[in-house]
Amino acid sequence: MINITPKFPKKVEFLFEFSFPLIDKLIPRKPFIGGRIGYDKQTLFVWLLIKKVLGWDYRTVADMAGMAHTTLIRANDKFSKHQVYSKFLIYLVKQAYKNDLILGQKVALDSSFVKTYSRKEEIGSGGWNGHKESFGFKLHALIDAQSGVLIALIVGNGLTHDSQVAIPLLKRARPWLKRCGYVLADKGYDDTKIVEYIAQSLHAKASIPIKQTNQQQRRKKLNNPELAIKGGYQNWKMKVEGRCIKKSIYNKRSEVERFFSTLKRAFKLGTEKTRGIKAFIENTYLACICFMLRRLWIAGIT
């Protein structure tokens, strides 16, 4: 008979370098009153992280763990109900800040659209997104542009414009932006209120390109470049105050794109066979936790 010894893939081995005592604090064990003692919550948490990294279904991971798949499903529901995922992610952000992985000098914000699993409207998707030509959800994230580490995130429907979430996202990240010098974002965040908040509340510069006005675009179409330049300069002069226009600074915004790419490619965000915004939020937090744990592990922090 062939002797086969199973071994975990290398991409999940970093999870075994950590212990998770915070999980037991967030959901304390109830006093024993008889019956069979349940599985350890830290163990269940690790198996849910393994499921996220590998992209397997509950049954496959449960077979590997030697438990019923319903046990993992109930554990996921319980963690979600007690907001364990969001609280644990905040804890990881604090650890990253404490160990200087979050410098906060240059931060980048952006959003990423994720299609619904059914490709139809689901609870919380918000309706048809004509630009993306699909139903979906949006993940809005703020990251440290130098280290690529996550600082804050907001999950919403697929119709919310990026500019509507920018200030709430920056407010959520405020405790870690004490040394902030630049906030990097694309033209979708070209809004006077956002620039003012960055300048006045964070005492930082907004590295956000200025969109052309409709009048400029019409003048270009009329082949009148002189008027277009004149109108463009006046618009630029009014809106450039409080901004940084150096390309060398703005180019660091690409780090947030790498963050979204890692969530989707390495941690399978958007490929889960789940429906509705509640499940999408759970999947997003699990993916972000895996991302942060790997970054901490690479930095030698366990």
Residue type, 177: L
- Token pair for 292: 């942060």
Report pTM: 0.89
* Number of CB atoms found within 10 A of residue 4's CB: 6
For residue 45, what pLDDT is reported?
Answer: 96
| Structure-token pair, residue 2 | 């062939």
Check residue 224 and give its pLDDT. Answer: 53
pLDDT of residue 216: 46
Nearest to 102 by CA among 69, 165, 158, 148: 148
Q: Which helix (H) or strand (E) holds 64?
A: helix 58-65
Domain ranges of the chain: 39-82, 85-202+246-288, 209-242
Q: What is the pLDDT of residue 229?
A: 46
DSSP 118-175: TSS--TTS-S-BTTTTB-EEEEEEEEETTT--EEEEEEEETT--HHHHHHHHHHHTGG
Q: Are 200 and 183 in contact (CB under 8 A)?
A: no
pLDDT at 223: 57
Mean pLDDT by 10 residues, the chain (302 residues): 75 92 89 72 95 93 93 95 96 95 93 93 91 93 95 94 94 92 92 91 90 55 50 58 84 94 94 92 97 95 87
- Count CA within 13 A, CB hemisphere, residue 53: 21
Q: Single out the residue of 31, 33, 263 nearest to residue 138, CA to CA.
A: 263
pLDDT of 213 reads 59
Its CATH class, for the domain covering 85-202+246-288, is alpha beta
The pLDDT score that the predictor gives to residue 238 is 60
pLDDT reported for residue 148? 94
69: CB partners within 8 A, 6+ apart: 58, 59, 61, 62, 63
Q: Which of 289, 297, 298 is nearest to 52 (CA)?
A: 289
Q: Is residue 85 within 8 Å of residue 289, measured between CB atoms?
A: yes
Instruction: For residue 291, give Cα distances in angstroms to 108, 199, 266.
Output: 17, 30, 9
- Rounded Cα gap, residues 170 and 176, in angstroms: 10
Q: How many residues does the chain have?
A: 302
Alpha helices per DSSP H over 191-276:
192-201, 214-221, 225-239, 247-250, 254-265
